[in-house]
Structure formats: structure tokens, C-alpha cells
Amino acid sequence: MKNCLIDPRDLLKFDFGPMHPFKIYRLGLAYELMEAYGLTALDRVYILKPREATPEEAKTFHVDGYLEVLRLADSGMWIPNLFAHGLGPGDNPVFPGVYEWGMSVAGASIECAEELLAGRAGAAFNISGGLHHAMPSRAAGFCHINDPVLAINKLLAAGKRVAYIDIDAHHGDGVQHAFYNTDQVLTISVHQSGHTIFPGTGFVDETGQDRGAGYAVNVPLLPGARDDVFSRVRAEVIAPLLAAYDPDVIVTQLGADAMLGDRIANLGMSLHEFERFAKFYRGLNKPWLALGGGGYDVGNVARAWTLVFGVMNEIDLPDAIPDAWITHAASYGVTETSLRGPEVTEPSPEHVLDDLDRTLAALKKTVFPIIGNQR
């Protein structure tokens, strides 16, 4: 079975602005690092370019009024009602092509879902995707269109049951909101506690409602959580819940901002642990839609997503980064030479581990009995 990769380089013409932490050029550096390792030339890999989502596809989650405001804002000029929709100076700027940007990222994620549904790909990766904060009528958290939701809606329309697992440092609030009332999507978000970081949600007692009661799972982590914490969450929460739920398709949001050294978050995952997550996902032997997400240390982002695509294709990449990429990346101020960097052997602080114990105990009393008894 072949694997699909979206080539993001057509998206590099867009720009959130020189002072904004969301650097679109990281997509080019990530793709070019995959290319430098020979991953894009593998026989089992095929490349697609992004297409724009249609208004009908976008309206499976977003409302007409918001899409119209975003479309009018595409010129980069101020128009009325921007602020009511979360647009303007700050997190969600209006820039030339903002509608095309959001709809192209979303269309690329929908393309990936379509490739899985058609049986052309066993796994598909849109590194530009994972923009999980956008809400039906507003932009939020650097996210204008919620591509994970639109891609999952495509899978649901084909009758698939979906598990969505999000390891971005920020809670996947937009995706949780979309599927909070359904048991056809299991959402699992592992993130820095909302008491300490945007968007201020994703607490352990947010577990879904109505038919979705028990199908929203949140694992908030205190700042300072390291590999030992992420390893436990994977083994004690994600693995057993996925085994019990038995989805038809897994969708993973692979934000790279949970890693040590990120500019915005305060977690301490290593690239080695990120790679272990990718190996876990591949080992599930399910159709796999992988999306990018946050990440504000550009070197970490490029390395993390290259590791994922190596794992997706069952290639054990050498740790020494190709010289040509090192030279190119230096022009962006990126100076990485090791693909994985050092292992994180220092344990998480005791108060972080104690808080995790409380979270796991709560989940085992609430969502575990529900998921374990379904089907």
C-alpha cells in the first residue's frame, strides 16, 4: 500500500507577518528535509498538491457568515465584523490570501481523507494541517479553517468511525467542540493544562455529552512534563482506549510544540519520544491520516515531521542530517545537525507526576468504563 504526502510549497506564498510566531516557511523546510533524506522519491510514496476546500465542504462545520467575512478579507484589507469573528491584529491576522490559505490547508486534509477512502493510500500526511482551534464562526489560535474537522466529516460521511488523537501542546478545542455530542468520533487530546496556556480548556472533566458522553478524553499536563509522562499517557490512556474503541480510521494531530525548547509551550517531550508516538500509530495497522499542527521552534518542527514520515514508510532514518539541508536551513537561522537530538532522561518533576496520577485515576472512573463497554 502506498502513502500520500501533500507538497506544501504552493502555500509558502502566504505570511502571517514578520512578528507572528506562526512561520509558514517551516512547511518548506520540513518538506525539504524529507526530500533530502530521499523520502519523497520512495516508490511507495506519491505526492499531491493542495486543493481548496469547496464552500460546501467547509460548511460541514463553519457557518456561511464567517466564510463570507473570511472570503472578503482575502484581499488583506480591513472589513466590518472582523473582530466578531476572531480576525484582526494578534493571533489570527488578516493577510493577502487568508481565505485561500485556510481553504487550501483544509482541502489538502480532505484530499488525504479521500485517498484513504479510495484505498489508494494506507497513510496520508498533510504537514500544513492540524489547525484544530478554529470554531464554526470564528478564527482562533492561529487557525482560520478547522481542517481536522472537515477531513473527519468526510470520513464520517463515508460511514467510518474515527479516533482523533492530538498531542499538540494546546488543547484540540475546535475538534472536541465539533464532535462533543457523538460516539462516532473518539477525541483524545494530550496537552499542557489550560490553567497555564491557551485556549484555557481541555480539563479532565470535559468528557462529552448526550451520545458523546465518554467519547471526549482530555489529558492536561502541568508544565515540565517530560518523556516519562508522555510514555505513560500513551501506554495507559491512548493504547487501551483505542483498543476498546477499535476505530476504522485514526486521525493524528502532530503538533511539535510539546517538545523541549518550544517558544510558546512549556513541555519537555524529546524527538525520540515523538518518534515513538509515530511508531505506535503505525503499529495500529489502521488507515492513518496524519496532520501537522503547532510548533514554534522551526528546527524541531522540520525534524519531527520528517521522523514521522520516515516511520510511516518504515524507514529508519540516519541521525546525521544531510549537509545540503543544513546549509539551506542556516539561511533561516536553523542550525540543527542531528535528526533526533539527545534523549530526555531526566524525570518529570514530582508534582507533575502526582498530577498525572490524579488525571489517570479520574479517567479510569469516567471514560474508561464507557469506552470499554461500547460495541
What are the structural domains, with CATH classification, of the chain? 2-373 (3.40.800.20)
Alpha helices in the chain (DSSP H): 25-36, 55-58, 64-72, 98-117, 147-157, 173-178, 227-233, 239-245, 271-283, 298-312, 323-330, 350-365, 367-373
Cβ atoms of 137 and 66 closer than 8 Å = yes
Active site residue 20: no
Tell me the C-alpha to C-alpha distance, in Å, between residue 24 and each of 16, 128, 276. Answer: 8, 8, 26
Query: Which residue in the list 62, 133, 177, 191 is annotated as catalytic?
Result: 133
The set of cell numbers assigned to 226 is 517530560
Cell 532522561 belongs to which residue?
345
> Residue 375 has what pLDDT?
53
User: How crowded is residue 119: how many other Cβ atoms within 10 Å of its Cβ?
Assistant: 9
> Mind listing the pLDDT tens digit for each residue in 168-193?
999 999 999 999 999 999 999 999 99
Q: Collapsing DSSP states into helix, strand and coil, what is residue 101?
A: helix
The residue ranges of the chain whose pLDDT is under 70 are 374-375
List the beta bridge partners of residue 188. Answer: 165, 217
> Residue 374 has what pLDDT?
67
> Residue 153 has what pLDDT?
98
Cβ atoms of 359 and 204 closer than 8 Å = yes
305 Cβ neighbours under 8 A, 6+ residues apart: 30, 34, 125, 127, 254, 256, 292
Query: Is the backbone peptide bond immediately before 96 cis, with ω within 30 degrees of 0?
Result: no
